[in-house]
Amino acid sequence: MNAHDSEKVVGTLLARGYREVPTPEEADLVLYNTCSIRDKAEQKVFTRLQNFKREAGKGKVFAVLGCVAQQEGERIFERAPHVSLVAGSASYTRLPEMLVQLEEGNRRVTGLSLDTDETFDTPFTRRDNPHRAYITIIEGCDKSCAYCVVPFTRGPERSRTGESVLAEARRLAESGYTEIQLLGQNVNSYRDPSPAAWDFATLLARTAEVPGIRRVRYTTSHPRDFIKAIVDAMDSNPVLCNHVHLPVQSGSNRVLGAMQRLYTREQYLERIAWIKNARRKMALTTDIIVGFPGETEADFEETLTLLDEVQYDSLFSFKYSPRPNTAALAMEDKIPDAEKARRLMVLNEKQRAIQIRRNAEFIGSLEEVLVEGHNPATGQWIGRTSQNRTLNFTHPPNGGASLVGRYLNVRVTRSGPNSLAGESAANVM
């Protein structure tokens, strides 16, 4: 989501006559788009601001955008006095007018209001990837998970109209994009604000029908709002990729309760069963936090048994990081960092073994990939399957033409913990 916010900000700047330069050293205006989901990300911003200022900051205008901007607000001016603009993502609709103030030489411009009821929709988005395009369908979050800073930094939920999402998808298809990724903190609570009042499953189905679009992905889901109709929609149109990212955070009901996740392990597993019973084979991935306050060894064991039960294809794991303005900040029974690190290692070792097994099951199969790049060091092309697996492959010499952006069938011959390898069946489509 942050990467896509950057694309929209760059597009807005370009539309106002700004020009992108190859390095920050050459820029007159330097914008930092920031993340505050965990403390480490937040600290990085301040280190970079300091270092860059010292080396090359003379005469430049600095802006801090994104979640750290929203969270720290005007305190950023104190910590980094050379910054002139501080704006959170909920204020980006006002970005053009904030730029005017900057251009007029204003030294302290802020956009920190959270009460916008609009999404940051811009026709000028400058996209980084020529084949896959992100489309924001809902911004903000109305949940209140005890560890999470997002409802505070990104504000309340606002959905875009279904028609504007489809119009953007059609425009993208016309300009050559074949893959679309629908974005939101919680896409499952999408609700079309127009009278059509589409829910997320309907929006997914409609997006998949846009001519020229061959793949549609979405992220991220909240298990509580993940309804069976989503699996049914995926089952009825193969354009909807075979992958569900369903963050569980913990396998222990006690911890899930303390996290205010609004579902139990059993309810989560019920959703997993819908996905596993789909007609197509879906990949499953998740997010897990270890060391949430009060997480006992027994609680952690339950997360490990959940991994055994679900057999995820991949997971993102994090040590709990205390965040400002969150309910968990005041909770007792903090887990020491060394213990969090140990749990993270145990979790990742278990998952690695699962991935080695799961990836090996693909050897011999034929997979369609979208080619994303080429690795000159290995001579392999880099492809991605509908299940979102990386599949590196060799291809017969074709006169040096790039395969990037093409869809190819690849025979899987080898597997590792994080990727597959194979040989293209050479029938370029």
Residues of this chain that interact with ligand SF4 (CB under 6 A) are: 141, 143, 145, 148, 150-151, 185-186, 222
247 binds ligand 5AD (CB under 6 A): yes
Residue of 10, 67, 272, 289 interacting with ligand 5AD (CB under 6 A): 289
95 binds ligand 5AD (CB under 6 A): no
12 binds, among ligand 5AD, ligand SF4, none (CB under 5 to 8 A by kind): none
141 binds, among ligand SF4, ligand 5AD, none (CB under 5 to 8 A by kind): ligand SF4
Closest to ligand 5AD by CB, 57 or 293? 293
Q: At its nearest, how many Å lie between ligand 5AD and the CB of residue 318?
A: 4
Long-range contacts of 278-283 (CB under 8 A, 24+ apart): 278/231, 278/234, 278/235, 279/235, 280/234, 280/235, 280/238, 280/242, 281/242, 281/387, 282/234, 282/242, 282/243, 282/244, 282/387, 283/242, 283/243, 283/244, 283/313, 283/314, 283/387, 283/388, 283/389
Find the DSSP H helices in 57-94.
67-72, 75-79
37 binds, among ligand SF4, ligand 5AD, none (CB under 5 to 8 A by kind): ligand 5AD
Closest to ligand SF4 by CB, 199 or 423? 199
246 binds ligand 5AD (CB under 6 A): no
37 binds ligand 5AD (CB under 6 A): yes
289 binds, among ligand SF4, ligand 5AD, none (CB under 5 to 8 A by kind): ligand 5AD
Q: At its nearest, how many Å lie between ligand 5AD and the CB of residue 410?
A: 30
49 binds, among ligand SF4, ligand 5AD, none (CB under 5 to 8 A by kind): none
Closest to ligand SF4 by CB, 186 or 380? 186
Find out whether 203 and 192 touch, Cβ atoms under 8 Å: yes
- DSSP letters along 108-154, please? -EEE------S----TT---S-SSEEEEE-EES-----TT--HHHHH
Rounded CA-CA distance 192/184 in Å is 13
Q: At its nearest, how many Å lie between ligand SF4 and the CB of residue 116?
A: 18
329 CB neighbour count, 10 Å cutoff: 13
Q: In the block, which residue shows the tokens 């690695």?
A: 352
Q: At its nearest, how many Å lie between ligand SF4 and the CB of residue 36?
A: 12
How close are the terminal C-alpha atoms of the chain, in Å?
A: 31
Rounded CA-CA distance 332/39 in Å is 19
Q: At its nearest, how many Å lie between ligand 5AD and the CB of residue 106?
A: 34
263 binds ligand 5AD (CB under 6 A): no
Angle 162-231-410 from CA coordinates, rounded to 5°: 100
Q: How many CA atoms lie within 13 A of 132 on its CB side?
A: 20
E strand residue ranges, 201-335: 215-219, 243-245, 283-290, 314-319
Q: At its nearest, how many Å lie between ligand SF4 and the CB of residue 415?
A: 32
38 binds ligand 5AD (CB under 6 A): yes
323 binds, among ligand SF4, ligand 5AD, none (CB under 5 to 8 A by kind): ligand 5AD
Residue of 32, 134, 147, 268 interacting with ligand 5AD (CB under 6 A): 147
Report residue 211 as tokens: 């001519």
Q: At its nearest, how many Å lie between ligand SF4 and the CB of residue 203?
A: 19
CA torsion 246-40-356-368 (nearest 10°) is 60
Residues that bind ligand 5AD (CB under 6 A): 37-38, 147-148, 247, 249, 287, 289, 318, 320-321, 323
